[in-house]
Chain A
């Protein structure tokens, strides 16, 4: 039994210690906003924040996270989709199918938390998530809109 701090709540997870955080979130905590795309840290669909860092949750197991660490998933980013990234995404119609967007939004939010006015090069470096629908240019524009740059 692992205890996690997810979106400000303590959640008991009844799963072996080698279970990837992604699947514990989706299947034990019932937070399906965090997506499975590759399972090998390639696509970023599973991105969550751990203590403010963007982390690919498919590639970290329960034993790699302690109860003291604060995990934030897309469901906990804001109570009402009011995070500047979410607002910019709505305004610019960033999502197409949307499947990658939880991860995109979490990666972008982590970037802005550290680098409030990112350059294009900083955006390129931070945003390595895969989007098969092809929303990259709107993702970039959305980050800039949210950052006011």
Chain B
């Protein structure tokens, strides 16, 4: 029981779970590596297979390997399992298996990583197969009991009926017999047309506790005897701790210990977090700032600028001879765009709670990747893998930041200073802002050639700037090339195809990696690539004297899916019809994370230069929609995230460190600025794409194109707060 966080629909509240976790944590010498077997033996709850557990009272627990951080994947995955299980949805609950259990069971739940909008699109097949296999076993168990062929039995809504006689039995009644059967060798999945749970806007499974304060996030964890820690790492990236004067704060109320953590951080451990933070703020620390102390936004901009003209660049997409075509074109259009560093700014700052003894290490944390968190715990604890585990808790936002486990490493190193006592590490907002893994910084030079009729005959897109892979996973580079940079621009695949058929095309990347650590940030490289391409398409259309929609249409003859979402938003916003007085419209489309997205914006700009977004129409073709209401929620949320970034967010660099430390200097969009969002879902049913991220990428370019339409001023760098749009 202690190794899993349960949320069964009836009896167990999250609070009792954590109490249970706490109780067993206190008694950890009994051994914690018995999550399912022991717990289920006690509860009499049979596991039908890795994905499905059925209680005698018919409650169903679906195991969820991916992390829920607000995006609804938990409910969507449970729907997929329940569909094939022929479950009564009202009886479905869920639980997280631990990454340690996954390891022990030969990775039966496969990938825990939750990012890249992959939760559903990468696991729909095997989770549905899990549900189908469980159903077959339940039906077989009933058939065995009745001594009839399974082919005469039907399962629906958690009840198995013997069709010829009308006898019936519930899943709970046959679950323990089913659990003893051999799993089927082969399963056939239901065709989409027969779905009754998938495709429905069923209610999320995790809403109730978010309404009354009961939901336990990592920051809320309390274990018996637990201490709290606050931490400061050298704000200059690449710097170290030179010295600190612990004696100055060890006498402060509640303070237990002041410790250096790794080469670059100091932590204070105290009874409460507020005491720890107060002491840490009072602690004199001298930093050895290291080699990057002279880096600034200006030096980084110069570094990126050098890549715009560089000879050496990695190719991403190539057709014909773009340079020659542009040189011979009737008209040449050129523009340089740029995109800043940004912090994820999850609402809940980074945190992890760890308990370390010479025999074992346990961690409780919000993570987007339980297995990476476990790997971090194993390494930091110095213990064998079998003696470590991670208990996932709900995330107060992730957006890519919680795919990294730096805070888990820190928490375990801190806990090692207090053997046998659980310690919760919580970052302050300031620490969270200064120790991010930032949206990569890039700039792009766009050069296009138009013939005398305004046809685009050549396009060269030169991206210069940061590679995420070079920062986080250099082994994944391909002869130095980062393929992720070309998200949305590729000739094909899940992160393309590039929607425009341009006879002479060159998209290349001059890698320039500043010292600021990059990370996967919701929308990743699609964000800036969509701005660069879609704003420049708008520029080309205007240079050609052709309506921006018409200009795109001509180039998208071989990209019907791209065009379909674009046409849908154009229709939705009333493209071509006169705008409301004082407003103007803009369009953008892109393909990424396996899905096709487009947005149209209606914007006004006051004489004082204030931008107001009145209305957004968004269209998404994610192939399949598991829960339409949750997809709509992701689309709405994507505009908040994307417009926050577009309007307000920039992390600047001075003295080698990030300047912005909190929401006063790094604002987010608020309610008064939020436009209406109409979300159109156009699933074509022939593929599985992601929805958590792609729409973010079209938020900014649609608005930026509308700003041009409203003012005649082309904004080419973000955030928009830096743009001067005042009328003369």
Contacts and interface: CB of A to CB of B under 8 A. Distances in A.
A46 B213 CA distance: 11
A15 B253 CA distance: 9
Contacts of B272: 15, 23, 27-28
A85 to B, nearest CB: 9
Contact of A134 (B426, B636, B662, B663): B636
A36 B663 CA distance: 13
B639 interface: yes
Nearest to B201: A93
A109 B70 CA distance: 22
Interface in B328-381: 345-349
A121 B348 CA distance: 28
Nearest to B214: A33
Q: Which 7 A-B pairs have the closest CB atoms?
A: A33-B213, A134-B640, A134-B637, A99-B396, A97-B70, A98-B210, A96-B70
Contacts of A140: 671, 674
B70 A93 contact: no
A30 B18 CA distance: 14
Contact of A97 (B211, B395, B644): B395
Interface string B398-416: 1100000000000000000
A79 to B, nearest CB: 9
B132 interface: no
B676 interface: yes
Interface in B633-679: 633, 636-641, 644, 662-664, 668-672, 674, 676-677
Contact of A37 (B203, B273, B347, B395): B347
Nearest to A33: B213
Given A75-B212, A97-B395, A99-B397, A43 B347 contact: yes
A38 B429 contact: yes
Given A35-B348, A99-B397, A100-B347, A130 B663 contact: yes
B71 interface: yes
Contacts of B349: 36-37
Nearest to A88: B211
B638 A134 contact: yes
SS of B interface (majority): loop
Interface residues of A, number: 58
A37 to B, nearest CB: 6
A86 B396 CA distance: 19
A90 B211 contact: yes
Interface in B586-635: 629-630, 633
Interface in A61-110: 73-75, 77-78, 81, 86, 89-90, 93, 95-102, 105
13 contacts: A27-B272, A35-B348, A37-B349, A37-B663, A38-B429, A42-B662, A77-B212, A86-B212, A95-B207, A95-B211, A96-B633, A136-B669, A138-B636
Nearest to A27: B272
Interface stretch (B151-159, B215-223, B543-551): B215-223
B273 A39 contact: no
B274 interface: yes
A37 B429 CA distance: 7
A10 interface: no
Given A16-B253, A32-B216, A130 B397 contact: no
B69 interface: yes
A40 B217 contact: no
B347 A95 contact: no
Nearest to B426: A36
Contacts of A125: 672
Contacts of A105: 211
Nearest to B629: A93
B210 A95 contact: yes
B30 interface: no
Contacts of B210: 95, 98, 101
A43 B641 CA distance: 15
B636 A93 contact: no
Given A81-B208, A136-B671, A96 B216 contact: no
B428 interface: yes
In the complex, which of the residues B220, B222, B346, B638 has the most CB atoms of chain A within 10 Å of its own CB atom?
Answer: B220
Interface in B21-79: 69-72
Interface in A24-58: 26-28, 30-40, 42-43, 45
B89 to A, nearest CB: 15
Nearest to B639: A134
A15 B669 CA distance: 35
B207 A93 contact: yes
Interface in A1-27: 15-16, 19-20, 23, 26-27
Contacts of B203: 93
B671 to A, nearest CB: 5
